[in-house]
Structure 1
């Protein structure tokens, strides 16, 4: 059963550290002969590229919180590259020669940096995201969504098991998707997949246009 709102707590860097460990363990369950060039679920990228994109997201979120005065109107200006039409615009890449083990290590390194930065950042820090200027907890929640749903994508492509903790999914929904109803009859993980356009739910058609709300409630909206 979905926890009642009163029992919920904010997402934390410890939550992200947990999901990072779970994600690395799940990816290491891929068979030695797994084809990482297979499509990652309904995403337009293959499994290798999707994990690279995830590592890039995590390191980019850490970078946004890193400066003494984080930018609120733009990203930190790293040079990025889109290697194929429609591909992710990354600055993090894994050496293909390192194989899947190296790819997972890159993910762990990027995620570990995000965890460390989130733990060190003062709660009042704010930094840019196109879906709302966010606090450190917001960047943790965004990192968690990226981890949870992209692992789902890759797990579909590689035939892996990925079933994250329901309470964590519920708290991520509460932080980033306040417009998404979660009733006691709803399971938080399928609801998060629906909220991010992955699957339909009974009575709720597949979402083709969605976004999360990165801005915390105590930050005035900039017009």
Structure 2
């Protein structure tokens, strides 16, 4: 029987602020191709409009950035910004874009929030921990979370806006290694990330109805810090 081709397992490399910059830049570039009249339609399988979904993504990036912001980040809950929804069933955000600025302004809001998180990841010492509902994480973990949000919500948006969206395989592979330790490693990274976030089936793996990521710092990173401090 001939061997079944698989995707090689890629080496583990850290997730960086540059990776986050790339993810946001690629997302914004793709979304600029959307028809101006399409933003009020639903974003893929979400119950939010495409406009609301970009606001939600910008809000995620903003929230991760400010969580790292205090000199001593809280570990028992989020930094207490007010989150509110502008309609029943809409996303609860701190960040809302001015509708009068149109889609171009909306994408500027997304870019700005991504830049805030990238700056915080670059300037926050790696030993710092901050709260997340899935467990305290480090700057690399928050960068990885921001990338997941950017990649998969752009997938949702691409479905709603009629766009094509396929992010780089190596970026997806690093995110899977950092946040989804239980995900298959012999399947193509982008379909695997969609599977890991409940958005698609994968050969041999049914579509997930519940999912989460694991943002705890990598053991190797913890070991390196311990050796450095010793």
* Same fold? TM cut 0.5: yes
Superposed, 1:111-130 pairs within 5 Å as 111-130=114-133
- How far apart are residue 19 of structure 1 and its match? 1.1
**Contact persistence 1:3–1:167 (CA under 8 A):** no
**Structure 2 partner of 1:178:** 181
Equivalent residue runs for 1:83-98 within 5 Å: 83-98=86-101
Map 1:11-30 onto structure 2 (within 5 A).
11-30=15-34
Q: What's 1:210 paired with?
A: 211
Q: How far, CA to CA, are the matches of 2:7 and 2:215 in structure 1?
A: 23
Return the alpha-carbon distance in structure 1 between the equivalents of residues 83 and 132 of structure 2: 17
Residues 178 and 218 in structure 2, CA contact (< 8 A), matched pair in contact too: no
1:192 aligns with 2:189: no
Report the CA distance between 1:3 and its aligned residue. 4.5
CA–CA separation in structure 2 for the residues paired with 1:14 and 1:137: 11
Q: Return the alpha-carbon distance in structure 1 between the equivalents of residues 151 and 23 of structure 2.
A: 8
Query: In the comparison of the two structures, how many residue pairs are matched?
Result: 215
Partners of 1:85 and 1:210 lie apart in 2 by 24
Q: Greater Rg, structure 1 or structure 2? A: 2
Offset at residue 31 of structure 1 (A): 2.5
SS at match of 2:42: coil
- Aligned CA RMSD, in angstroms, stands at 1.3
Deviation string, structure 1 residues 72-96 (Cα, Å, up to 9, x no partner): 1100000111222332110000001
Alignment correspondent of 2:228? none
Alpha-carbon distance in structure 1 between the residues aligned to 2:65 and 2:154 = 19
* Cα distance in 1 between the residues matched to 2:216 and 2:105: 34
Of the three residues 46, 50, 72, the one matched with 1:47 is 50
Report the Cα distance in structure 2 between the residues aligned to 1:88 and 1:213, rounded to whole angstroms.
23
Distance 1:195 1:22 in 2: 21
Aligned to 1:154: 157
Residue 60 of structure 2 aligns with which residue?
Answer: 57
Deviations 1:126-157 (A, max 9, x none): 00001010000000000000000000000000
Q: Please give the alpha-carbon distance, in whole angstroms, between the structure 1 residues aligned to 2:210 and 2:40.
A: 27
Aligned equivalents of 1:126 and 1:76: distance in 2? 13
Structure 2 spans left out of the alignment, 5+ residues: 1-5, 223-230
Which aligned pairs between 1:102-141 and structure 2 lie closer than 5 A?
A: 102-141=105-144
TM normalised by structure 1 equals: 0.93
Match of 1:4 in 2: 9
Query: What is residue 201 of structure 1 aligned with on the other side?
Result: 202
